[in-house]
Chains A and B, each alone.
Chain A
Amino acid sequence: MAELAPGTLWFTIAALGLGTYLIRFSFLGFLGGRTLPPLALRLLRYVPVAVFPALVAPQVLWPTATGGELDMPRLLAALCTLLVGLWRRNVLLALGAGLGLLLVLELLRGL
Chain B
Amino acid sequence: MSSALSPRPATVFWEGVRDGTPFIVMVGPFALLFGVVAAELGLSLAETLGFSTLVIAGAAQFATLELLDAGAPVSVAVGTGLAVNLRMALYSASLVPYFGRAPLRHRAWIAYALVDQVYALALLRFQGREEPQGSRLAYYAGAAAPICGIWILACALGAQAQSTVAAVPGLDFAVPLTFLAMVTPMLKDRPSAAAAMVAMSLAILGHELPLNSGMLLAAAGGMVTGAVLEGRREAHG
Contacts and interface: CB of A to CB of B under 8 A. Distances in A.
A57 interface: yes
A47 B195 CA distance: 9
Query: Chain A binding site: helix, strand, loop or mixed by DSSP?
Result: helix
B200 A8 contact: no
Query: Chain B binding site: helix, strand, loop or mixed by DSSP?
Result: helix
A99 B224 CA distance: 32
Interface residues of A, number: 77
Interface in B220-237: 220-227, 230-231
Contacts, number: 295
Residues of B in contact with A, size category: 35 or more
Given A54-B222, A91-B185, A94-B180, A41 B195 contact: no
A65 interface: yes
Nearest to B169: A106
Interface of B: 22, 26, 41-43, 47, 50-51, 54-57, 59-61, 64, 68-71, 74, 77-78, 81-82, 85-97, 99-101, 104, 107-108, 110-112, 114, 116, 119-120, 123-124, 127, 169-170, 172-174, 176-187, 191-193, 195-204, 207, 214-215, 218-227, 230-231
Interface of A: 1-2, 4, 8-21, 23-29, 31-34, 36, 39-65, 73-74, 77-78, 81-82, 85-86, 89-92, 94-95, 98-99, 102-103, 106-107, 110
